[in-house]
Structure 1
Amino acid sequence: MLVGVSIIFLDVDGTLIDSFPGIRAGFLHALDSIGWPHPDEETIARIPGPPMEVTLRSLGMSEEQADDAFAAYLDHTHRGGWADATAFPGMLDLLRTWKEQGHTLCTATSKGEAFARRILEREGMIDHLDFLGAAQENGPRRAKKDVIDHVLEQTGLSGRSSDILMVGDRSHDIEGAAHFGIDTVAVTWGYGTPEEWAAARFTAHDPEELEGIVHDWHAGVLGNPARD
């Protein structure tokens, strides 16, 4: 079992990493590969977060079209699209601080595991993580709920939801964590909307505020039921 002063589950895209440029390019390449029209930029701005095949089907594609488009998206990502991403300012320092304080850090991302590993290694973040929890590129573990379940099982943290805080930027993070009774901090520097963040227990507008929320929650200052 992984044990630390606290346990923090972290989304990657939109929380640790600004991956929108690469995701956007891959998405448009996927659409072009099957001759599908591009949606407006407001729609494109919301594509990071859910599994890409879910996004493609939401446009009205058939299963066959979505499968072909998703294959094109993966090909684009494998050929270098994964690298068109950078760490959000302050997040590497925050990971380093949390580890120095003894916290347990696990990712819980819908990003494919190989892609997540590559970008987190390049940005110097992976050495601060206790467990890399990610989706399968081609497998059943795709939805955020399934990724969180995988992290809980692999780390021996099942049954400890009251000791865990999820940090993410989209409704999928909040809803996936809530399935296990895990509280969430929504971060506003990612790709979500105020309506999505409103469903989280807490909202952080910058890494400094996030650090304070995590500290106070695990100290019981914010009314964590596990510590009341």
Structure 2
Amino acid sequence: MTTTLLFDVDGTLIDSFPGIRHGFLVGLDAVGWEKPDEEFIKRIPGPPMPESMRALGMEPETVDQAMRAYSEYMSTEGWQRFEVYPGMADLVERLHREGFGVVTATSKSERFARAALERAGMLGHIDFLGAASNDGVRAKKADVIRYVLDNVAPKRPLMIGDRTHDYTGAAAFDIPSVAVTWGYGASEEWDEADYIASDATELERIIRAAY
């Protein structure tokens, strides 16, 4: 595997915001926490959920309690509430068929990432599932990327994601990155990436031009 594409999942391959948003609010309700404004909420997909809860000022014990409620919801209805972004399932299948290494590098837990990608019909085109560990020990994007590198050892990796932690995590390992604009990031985040793609067609052009 010489050319390896590291795909983020939430905000890159699938739009999972409806389920994540509701699960987040379920977690807040479980601990009686006030709902933040929508500007905050729309930024929660991507980073580990405990980080978003800590950013609200929660103490560790409160985060744990909120996360239990969040995880319970996501284990049932929540993980199923998503749509595949236009063109991404076909692109992943085509690149995999042509010999590109296709892996994930997501802060979504391995359990939910596997279930979502299987439901989306993409799991069979993923060579390695790089995800946060189910116990939450491996959660930050840089830790997930290290996990991928330790298991895949790609020679020419390229990170593809929608948020700042995708690009900064990749940069920690001198890996170039592509920002996709259909996810949950903002323009100031995209500027941190080496390339910017506005749709699946442009992303494919970037991948082929770069490699």
Q: TM-score, normalised by structure 2?
A: 0.98
Q: Which amino acid aligns with 2:50?
A: E
Distance 1:97 1:45, change over 3 A: same
- Are 1:190 and 2:183 matched, yes or no? yes
User: In the TM superposition, what whole-angstrom CA distance separates every residue of 1:57-97 from its partner, at most 9, and x where no partner exists?
Assistant: 00011111111111111111112210011111100010111
For 2:64 and 2:191, locate their aligned partners in 1 and report how far apart those are by CA, in whole Å: 33
Contact 2:109 2:136 in 1 (8 A): no
State how far apart, in whole Å, the 2-side matches of 1:68 and 1:136 are. Answer: 19
Matches within 5 A, 1:67-106: 67-106=64-103
Task: Give the % identical residues.
Answer: 52
Pairing 1:62–2:59 present: yes
Deviation at 1:156, TM superposition (A): 3.0
Deviations 1:118-172 (CA, angstroms, capped at 9, x unpaired): 1100111011111111001323100000000001111233xx3xx1110000001
Residue aligned with 1:214, SS: helix
Query: SS state of the match for residue 107, structure 2?
Result: strand
Q: SS of the residue aligned with 1:132? A: strand
Q: Which residue of 111, 116, 133 corresponds with 1:114?
A: 111
CA-CA distance at 1:185 after TM superposition: 0.2
Paired position in structure 2 for 1:15:
12
Equivalent residue for 1:222?
none
Matched letter for residue 147 of structure 1: V
The CA RMSD measured in Å over matched residues stands at: 0.9
Measure, in 2, the Cα distance between the counterparts of 1:172 and 1:180: 13
| Cα deviation digits, residues 21-43 of structure 1 (max 9, x gap) | 00000000000000001111111
Taking the aligned partners of 2:11 and 2:63, their CA distance within structure 1 comes to: 24
CA positional deviation for 1:180: 0.4
2:132 alignment partner in structure 1: 135
Give the 3-state SS of the residue equivalent to 2:86 in structure 1.
coil
Q: What residue identity is the alignment partner of 2:158? A: L
Show the 5 A alignment for 1:135-214.
135-157=132-154, 160=155, 163-214=156-207
1:204 Cα deviation after fit = 0.2
Q: Which amino acid aligns with 1:217?
A: A
Q: Which amino acid aligns with 1:118?
A: A
Q: Structure 2 CA distance, aligned partners of 1:74 and 1:136? A: 14
Give 1:47's match in structure 2, choosing from 44, 47, 64.
Answer: 44
Higher-Rg structure is 1
The 3-state SS of whatever aligns with 1:22 is helix
Q: Deviations over 1:163-216 (max 9, x none)?
A: 111000000101111110000000000000001001001000000000000000
Give the TM-score taking structure 1 as reference length: 0.91
Matched residue SS, 2:124: helix
Q: How many residues align?
A: 211
Partner SS for 1:53: helix
Gaps of 5+ in 1: 219-228
- Aligned to 1:49, the other structure's residue is in SS state coil
For 1:48 and 1:107, how far apart are their aligned partners in 2? 16
Q: Distance in 2 between matches of 1:12 and 1:41?
A: 22
Deviations 1:2-53 (A, max 9, x none): x14x210000000001000000000000000000011111111100010000
3-state SS of the aligned residue for 1:166? strand
